[in-house]
Amino acid sequence: MVKFDSALVVKRKLWAEFGKNTPGETCIRDTFQRFCETATVEDREHSGRPSQITEEKIDEVGAVFENQPQSSVRPVARICSTSRTMAHRIMTEHLSLKPYKAQFLQQLYEEDMQDRVEMCKTLTPMLEDNHIQQNLFFSDVVTFYLNGLVNKHNCAMSKNQLVRPYFFEDDTVNGENDLLMLQTFFIPEVKKLHKFRSIIFQQDGAPPHFSIDVRRFLDNHFPDRWIGRGSSIRWGPRSPDLTPLDFFLWVHVKKNVYKTPIKHMAELKMRIDKEIKSISKETLCNVFSDIAKRMDLCISVDSNHFDICCKPNYMK
């Protein structure tokens, strides 16, 4: 404003230089006024009660976490004789801590370790092949609960395709109804994709999948092209951390399906179906790119459970 006539003129000059990041006229006018009064464009000191967060209090809270890294806000506030609000602010704003969420994992036995590593070494090169990624279908069965009623359903996914869910009518899944699902649902669904002869099918080692009839059926329809317990390409035992339906799909679907109360089973099925249909091909690609990374991690830690510290945002 010393050089130009008004805030509007200044704004026009700034717009020519910086485009859409240009501040508004009010901001320009206030900044000039502040400079005239204080000889600086820095914000004036705010009035009000000064912050009670001191370096000593931050160190005190930090010391608690050094000794008890899984502490929650309430005990930290009590130990440090401060409010829960202040404890939470120190933990998040000054110590950059994030909430700890418990993860329930299947126990791994010594005999599982080598099987998991060998599986990862076999599948990692396959997962780097784009053609195989598009034809590799991971499958899994999951349970949904509604007012004491149990509903189980199966789903399968590849890098760019989600097979719609199959709802089991029985409370439990066994070899008989698992075989029926493959015969009457999965095979007709994948045939619609016009690439049945190139499909590779994966399933875990759950007892229903290991029945003689199911394995014989898979050998006939996917000779040397199915992954699982009893196959020429073995799936490692107790490995939900490596299955995209476990580490992504069911977590995502359940979180959204149960957001609001569900009145009846028909509504539950409708929500599950709708949620699965809403997942984009871009999201599936993001998920599949993470499988090989997880398998590399599994190899690097000799098959022990590994922690994904920064969980990817698959839905971006």
β-bridge pairing 149-157 and 136-146: antiparallel
Q: Name residue, tokens 């598009």.
A: 134
Residue 1 CA from chain centroid, whole number: 52
Residue 39 exposed, middle or buried by CB count within 10 Å (0-12, 13-18, 19+): exposed
Q: Identify the pLDDT of residue 98.
A: 72
Q: Using 50, 70 and 90 to split pLDDT, how confident is the model at 45? A: low
In the DSSP assignment, the letter for residue 23 is P
Q: Is the Cβ–Cβ distance between 204 and 140 less than 8 Å?
A: yes
Q: Identify the pLDDT of residue 58.
A: 92
**Residue 67 token pair:** 């000794």
Q: Identify the pLDDT of residue 217.
A: 97
Fold of 110-300: Nucleotidyltransferase; domain 5 (3.30.420)
pLDDT above 70: percentage of residues in the chain = 88
Residue 103 exposed, middle or buried by CB count within 10 Å (0-12, 13-18, 19+): exposed
pTM of the model: 0.65
Closest C-alpha among 252, 242, 171, 169 to residue 205 = 242
Q: Using 50, 70 and 90 to split pLDDT, how confident is the model at 309? A: very low
Q: Identify the pLDDT of residue 1.
A: 45
Q: Where in the chain are the domains?
A: 55-94, 110-300
Q: What is the pLDDT of residues 136-148, one digit of tens each?
A: 999 999 888 886 5
Residue 205 φ/ψ region, left for φ over 0, alpha for ψ in the -120 to 50 degree band, beta for the rest: alpha
C-alpha distances out from residue 104 to 140, 212, 232, 241, 307, Å: 18, 31, 30, 11, 12
* Contacts of 248 by beta carbon, 8 Å cutoff, 6+ apart: 287, 290, 314
For 156-177, what is the mean pLDDT? 89
Give whichever of 41-50, 64-73, 254-263 has the largest mean pLDDT. 254-263
Closest C-alpha among 171, 197, 207, 201 to residue 186 = 201
- pLDDT surpassing 80 at residue 176: yes
Mean of the per-residue pLDDT values of the chain: 85
Q: Identify the pLDDT of residue 72.
A: 83
How many other C-beta atoms are found inside a 10 Å radius of the C-beta of residue 282?
12
The beta strands (E) that lie in the chain are given as 136-146, 149-157, 162-168, 200-202, 226-227
Q: What is the C-alpha separation between 293 and 226, in angstroms, rounded? A: 22
